[in-house]
Amino acid sequence: MELKGYLFDVYNFESDIHLWIKDEQGNMHLLRDTFYPIIYAHATQDYLRKLVKRLKDLDALAERPTFVTKRHFYKNEDVEVLRLVISRPSLLNKIKRKLFAMINNMDIYHSDVEIPNAYMHEKHIYPFAPVIARVKKPPLWNQIDAIVALEPETMLNYGIPPLRRMEISMEHSHRLGVSVRNRIHVKCDKESIYLTGQDVSSDIRNLNCMLMAYDPDVILTSYGDQTIMPTLFSWSTRTKIPLALDRDLVPGLQRSIVRKGLSVNTYGAWIFRAASYPLYGRLHIDSGNSFVFSNSGFAGVIELSRLSRTPVQRVARTSTGAALTNMEVHNAMDRQYLVPWQKSKVESWRTAYAMNEGDKGGMIFQPNIHEGHVYENVAQLDYAQMYPSIMVNHNISPECVNCECCALDPTVPRAPESHWHICKKRQGIVAQTLSHILDRRKHYKSLLRTHYDPDIDAKQSALKWLLVTSFGYMGYRNAKFGRLESHEAVTSFGREILLRAKELAEDMGYELLHAITDSMFIRNPDGSPIDREHLQVLCQRIYEATQIEMAIEGVYQWTIFLPSKVDPEASVANRYVGLFDNGNLKVRGLITRRKDMPLFVKSFQSELLEIMQRHTTLTALRSVHKTVVNLYERYKERLNDRHVPWRDLLLRKTVSRGASDYAVSTGTAMAMLQIQKQGIEVQPGEKIRYLVTKQASQNPKQRYIAEEEALSFSTEANIQYDVEYYHKLLLNAFEELWQFFAPPHFFEVLRLSGTEPTLFRFAY
């Protein structure tokens, strides 16, 4: 029997592979296959014999070990390795732990490729591939005999089948648990039900009825991994009523109820990841536990899943760097390379002088504020994905920088300043992978220029994050295809390319105001309007000189380079706002873009920006001073009259340690203590929100109130906030933008007036 449709999901239970295919009529089919992963070992005969004996003792071999020839990733030469077919995939982690003790005596390859990924690589299939599966005859009616993808994963204009969706969320904070006041809201099409936890058996039956009636393919949740799914599965365990969340009724399947997530400190920043609750036969995506979905939507998740041959639910829960690594792994395996199970190429020895020469990072020209912070007629030119383009154009990849095969060749290209040589005998895995991603994103962006499509925009956004990640992963200490010399080689080319662009711009008569890594702000020295045709000529000359496309990001009618908050006489690279000649604003580093600021304050600054957006000259901006002051007065009056909903005043902070580990009674520390008293644990990397109630109080416990604590109050009338504190935030948001257009000493007087009615009316 042949079955035609889309490959919906792939997962495994040991060597048993389960595949779900959605046919052309929209029906779902569960098929099965058997797959044994293959790893390779390289060591002396004595160590290999010990390894084989150990695997036999564990009953972990599906076939007799054999020697085969593969390509060494770094040496670029054939190597004889022992091929081992593993019968029990769950033993792979144990094998790696055991082999870690022999790390200096044995090399292991392909051992950390996840089973679904390895299976899809062997079969040349990928998630949401249009496939034809040939199924064996009864009694093995659901066993796959063969499966073929009808198009490659690199297909640009692909389709996906219609998918039914269900949304599950909580009414308030996910930390408060389920109750009558904090219900689980389940929505599918126009029907909604609420689960309160008062009658758990009834809640499960109601949810099951809705699942049976609508049979959703995708379940979208908010904090589903952290709260909703563990709650539902614990209810099911307690009542012994099976949940219909899974389509695949695997005999004996029992989920461990895990509520505690994982906190990781990466380069000084804490990242929190909740425990994972994927479903079998349906797709569960948690917006609170998915960077890709939060930034690129469902279409972006599908895009990365297809390209990386990684199941959708896995892509949704990992970083973009993990997806990029999987793409690189598949390309390496296609080229018969041995893929190491961990980063195996450490930084080369060098002198302090050589390190100082090569390790300089990106180039920045701080904004020129000697003539003021506000300019008219400024053009911004951006290199199109400069760092990824450098990697592709100059073949920068960990196995290519200082490669062994070209070490004695004096004709090989070299990186500027560091003078590391770059392989000319082969294309690097990183360069090969990024080449297609760059072309793919360029195609999507060209489509968007003619017609906007939210799905295409989501796809190009997902690819953008891949490209952003690609450079950082070059220097990431745990990246499989990372190497510090490669990372530094990219920045050395980047500095040279930006300098060349600056010189060409100045040769054509422009003045440089600001430049950062891959973009620059220029103007005519006399401030006159900029000729776009002249700019296009400049962009073409830069492309001819650097082989990286330079595009006009836009021409600003006015732009503001904001000063440092620490030193008003100093400029900063990443805080500016400008009005393009097409009427659009570009905002970077302002309060309205900060995630930790209250919604009320951000809304004020957004309204102020809307007023500024309607005026195209500095003179016109100064003429609306009275209008913006009235706007400020309205917001201040709402604060004074306590007409602002307390939820709009919540500040959001990232937890970096335990509540008792904070040395100072900050808002974060006090809020955590309140949450802790409710029996709720907050881990480093999680976000908390709190309200400032009385910051000047001598008692730290009276200064702040956590969102969860406020929600426990019987009436919202009992929730008070510190008007003076929020007035200062409002004034900061006002001054940040308007300080360059207000009359002299205007903000000094405003600060003196505090929350009282403003007396500075003559400033109009």
Q: What is the mean pLDDT of residues 570-579?
A: 90
Q: Is the pLDDT of residue 36 over 60?
A: yes
Sheet-wide strand order for 144-149: 28-34, 16-23, 2-13, 130-135, 144-149
Give the predicted TM-score (pTM) of the model: 0.91
Which pLDDT does position 104 carry in this prediction?
66
Mean per-residue pLDDT over the chain, rounded? 91
Which pLDDT does position 757 carry in this prediction?
59
Per-residue confidence at 225, pLDDT binned at 50, 70, 90? very high
Which pLDDT does position 755 carry in this prediction?
65
Residue whose C-alpha is closest to residue 632's, from 760, 447, 449, 740: 760
Q: What is the mean pLDDT of residues 503-522?
A: 95
- pLDDT greater at residue 659 or residue 523: 523
Residue whose C-alpha is closest to residue 415's, from 426, 405, 428, 401: 401
Which pLDDT does position 102 carry in this prediction?
60
Which pLDDT does position 719 carry in this prediction?
87
**CB proximity list for 56: less than 8 A, separation 6 or greater:** none
Per-residue confidence at 713, pLDDT binned at 50, 70, 90? confident
Per-residue confidence at 761, pLDDT binned at 50, 70, 90? very low
Q: Is the pLDDT of residue 714 over 80?
A: no
Q: Dump pLDDT digits (tens) for 111-139.
A: 889 999 999 999 999 999 999 999 987 76
Which pLDDT does position 281 carry in this prediction?
96
Which pLDDT does position 255 carry in this prediction?
85
Q: Dump pLDDT digits (tens) for 726-759.
A: 999 999 999 999 999 999 999 998 888 776 655 4
CATH no., domain 356-589: 3.90.1600.10
By percentage, how much of the chain surpasses pLDDT 90?
A: 72
Which pLDDT does position 763 carry in this prediction?
42
- For strands 337-338 and 66-72, give the pairing: parallel
Q: Dump pLDDT digits (tens) for 79-90.
A: 999 999 999 998
Fold of the domain spanning 165-318: Nucleotidyltransferase; domain 5 (3.30.420)
Pick the CATH number of 646-720 from 3.40.1820.20, 3.40.1360.10, 2.60.34.10, 3.50.50.60: 3.40.1820.20
**163: phi then psi, degrees, rounded to nearest 5:** -125, 135
Per-residue confidence at 253, pLDDT binned at 50, 70, 90? confident
Residue 696 CA from chain centroid, whole number: 38
Least confident range from 117-126, 321-330, 344-353, 591-600: namely: 344-353
Burial of 97 (0-12, 13-18, 19+ CB in 10 A): exposed
Burial of 664 (0-12, 13-18, 19+ CB in 10 A): exposed
**CB proximity list for 338: less than 8 A, separation 6 or greater:** 40, 42, 70, 71, 72, 73, 79, 81, 107, 109, 110
Per-residue confidence at 344, pLDDT binned at 50, 70, 90? low
Q: Do 21 and 29 meet the contact criterion of CB atoms below 8 Å apart?
A: yes
- pLDDT greater at residue 10 or residue 91: 10
Q: Dump pLDDT digits (tens) for 317-337.
A: 999 999 999 999 999 999 999
Q: Dump pLDDT digits (tens) for 389-424.
A: 999 999 999 999 998 889 889 999 999 887 789 999
Q: Is CATH 3.30.70 the classification given to domain 38-71+78-112?
A: yes
The SS3 assignment for 329 reads helix
Give the C-alpha separation, 5 to 8, whole Å. 9
Q: What is the mean pLDDT of residues 565-586?
A: 90
Sheet-wide strand order for 651-654: 651-654, 687-692, 704-706
Per-residue confidence at 202, pLDDT binned at 50, 70, 90? very high
Which pLDDT does position 762 carry in this prediction?
41
